[in-house]
Amino acid sequence: MALVRQRAARRMAGCLALAAVAVATPSWAQWGGLPAPALPTLPSGLTDRLPLTRDGLIPNSLDRLLQAPARLDGLVRRSHGALQADPLGWPVVSGEIVAVDLSPEARARALAAGYSVLREEPLEALGLTATVLAPPRRLSLSRAVDRLREIAPDAEIAFNHVHSPAGMTGVGATGGPVATGPQAINARLGLIDTGIDVTHPAFTASGVSQRGFAGPARVGAHGTAVASLMVGRSGAFSGGAPGQNILVADIYGGDPAGGTSTGLAQALAWMVEQRVTVVNVSLVGPRNALVERAVAGAQARGVTLVAAVGNDGPAAPPLYPASYEGVVGVTAVSARDRTLPEAARGPQVDFAAPGADMAAAGSAGSWTTVRGSSFAAPIVAGLLSRNGGGAGAVTALANSAADLGEPGRDPVYGAGLVGTGSRVAPAGMGARGRLSR
């Protein structure tokens, strides 16, 4: 895509530059309304493959850029042992290691070294196979990952990271199993999130098919709000693609260990099988080998992925999947069309869209007030779907965007602001309550 073709060369520079900004001018991060400072020019050819452990291309002094935000500590604590932290603090499933395309020979060596296979997860639609292994006894998960990389140097080895809804720490289900409604026929829009409440008036005009990838699909507040901003239509309220059919992949299922890398990859494979053209992922996490391969596999099969850039502040490290090459990253603006102070910045930002001071579908047929990049991304996904998805739709949307901030593309607003027609004042919908992030 034209908007993201040069992202790989720029992302490392942006990450290092933001580190310099954070050290030199810490107060800048508190003021989302100020223009971003000029980023220093760094040598060309720098890689964007940021390591997830301490032995990599980034010096140890910059490890803090890659560390998990402190808000995720509570997620691990509340999991009652289902989750633990990787060496940089990112939540991972306890006792699970993911190997992508593990050869029979490497598998045999791993078994001989004390690893055991928990399950095989073939992802034929993406051209991948994921093998989930348990570490040997008396070997920590982190050390077991390092050891397996030595045993199987040709495979890609990763933790089974957990993704959170664009900065939101409490995902839990807000209802029981999802209800059955009109099924999605020939849906071209997909959502990877929690399950949604199809009985909400916002979805009356849309067919919805849901599938669970962490047990049975369950209604969730986050997914319901996000989906309404993709396809919802009710009175004054209108999502990015009002009335379109949608496929929903619930990768949480009310499970404290939901939102895993393996679940996200399975959901993407399902979307490819169903011939979806645009998929919204309002979730964030660290770089993960399985998810990166799954994203690339989906893109190679014609899927346009849209993702929220996150809400951990302008000096935060790049979050994924928004920062993977080719993914359309979306930031959020307020009712005054100013970027939110908590919104991420950098070369991963392709578009800005409304993400605060507006209504979205809430519980029990109500409307709620939302804030965060989670709720900007689905608007962009809907707009791209209306134009068929693909590079042409991205270019057309960029050409229609309202330029904000510095002239031309910038790391705060990307190509500019789109989707303002989906911003409905909460008072106009009788909204109650507030859903952040």
pLDDT digits (tens, 9 = 90+) for 60-119: 334 445 666 766 777 788 878 889 999 999 999 999 999 999 999 999 999 999 999 999
Residues 57 and 85 in one domain: no
Residue 157: its pLDDT value, please?
A: 98
User: What are the phi and psi torsion angles at 339 (to 5°)?
Assistant: -60, 145
User: What radius of gyration do the chain's Cα atoms show?
Assistant: 21
Strand, coil or helix: 334? coil
The answer as to whether 81 is a domain residue is yes
Residues 45 and 183 in one domain: no
Residues 353 and 217 in one domain: yes
Return the C-alpha torsion angle 384, 390, 394, 396, nearest 10. Answer: -90
In angstroms, the CA 244 to CA 386 distance is 9
Residues 130 and 179 in one domain: no
The answer as to whether 96 is a domain residue is yes
- Evaluate if residue 21 carries a pLDDT over 90: no
- Evaluate if residue 296 carries a pLDDT over 60: yes
Q: Which region among 158-167, 364-373, 407-416 has the lowest average model confidence (pLDDT)?
A: 158-167
Q: Which region among 19-23, 43-47, 55-59, 137-141 has the lowest average model confidence (pLDDT)?
A: 43-47
- Evaluate if residue 17 carries a pLDDT over 80: no
User: Phi/psi class of residue 123: alpha, beta or left (left: φ > 0; alpha: ψ in -120 to 50)?
Assistant: beta
The answer as to whether 167 is a domain residue is no
- The number of distinct structural domains making up the chain is 3
Residue 29: its pLDDT value, please?
A: 28
Residues 194 and 300 in one domain: yes
The answer as to whether 135 is a domain residue is yes
The answer as to whether 417 is a domain residue is yes
> Are 244 and 231 a contacting pair, CB within 8 Å?
yes
In angstroms, the CA 240 to CA 133 distance is 41
The answer as to whether 180 is a domain residue is yes
- At residue 316 the predicted structure's pLDDT band, cuts being 50, 70 and 90, is confident
In angstroms, the CA 127 to CA 328 distance is 22
In angstroms, the CA 132 to CA 306 distance is 27
In angstroms, the CA 155 to CA 107 distance is 10
Q: How many CA atoms lie within 13 A of 297 on its CB side?
A: 24
* Encoded amino acid at 286, one letter: P
| Number of C-beta neighbours around residue 31 at 10 A | 10
Q: What is the pLDDT of residues 146-164, one digit of tens each?
A: 999 999 999 999 999 999 8
Return all residues near 61 (Cβ < 8 A) that are at least 6 apart.
Answer: none
- At residue 43 the predicted structure's pLDDT band, cuts being 50, 70 and 90, is very low
- The vertex-376 CA angle with 386 and 263, nearest 5°, equals 85
Domain final residue, candidates 25, 48, 66: 66
Residues 200 and 324 in one domain: yes
CA 19 to chain centre: 22
Domain final residue, candidates 18, 42, 66: 66
Name the residue range of residue 112's domain.
70-161
The answer as to whether 348 is a domain residue is yes
Residues 29 and 113 in one domain: no
> Are 113 and 70 a contacting pair, CB within 8 Å?
no
Of 327, 329, 320, 258, nearest to 299 by C-alpha is: 327
Q: What is the CATH number of the domain that holds 138?
A: 3.30.70
The answer as to whether 166 is a domain residue is no
Residue 8: its pLDDT value, please?
A: 44
Residues 213 and 230 in one domain: yes
- Evaluate if residue 49 carries a pLDDT over 50: no
Q: What is the CATH number of the domain that holds 293?
A: 3.40.50.200
- Evaluate if residue 12 carries a pLDDT over 80: no
Residues 242 and 119 in one domain: no
Angle between helices 377-386 and 221-231 (to 10 degrees): 40
- Average pLDDT of the segment spanning 117-139: 96
User: What are the phi and psi torsion angles at 99 (to 5°)?
Assistant: -115, 125
Of 324, 325, 320, 331, nearest to 284 by C-alpha is: 320
| Number of C-beta neighbours around residue 284 at 10 A | 29
Say which residue, 6 or 341, is predicted with more confidence. Answer: 341
Q: Where are the alpha helices (DSSP H) in 355-415?
A: 377-386, 390-400
For tokens 């060369």, name the residue.
9
- Average pLDDT of the segment spanning 173-195: 83
Q: Which region among 14-18, 236-240, 258-262 has the lowest average model confidence (pLDDT)?
A: 14-18
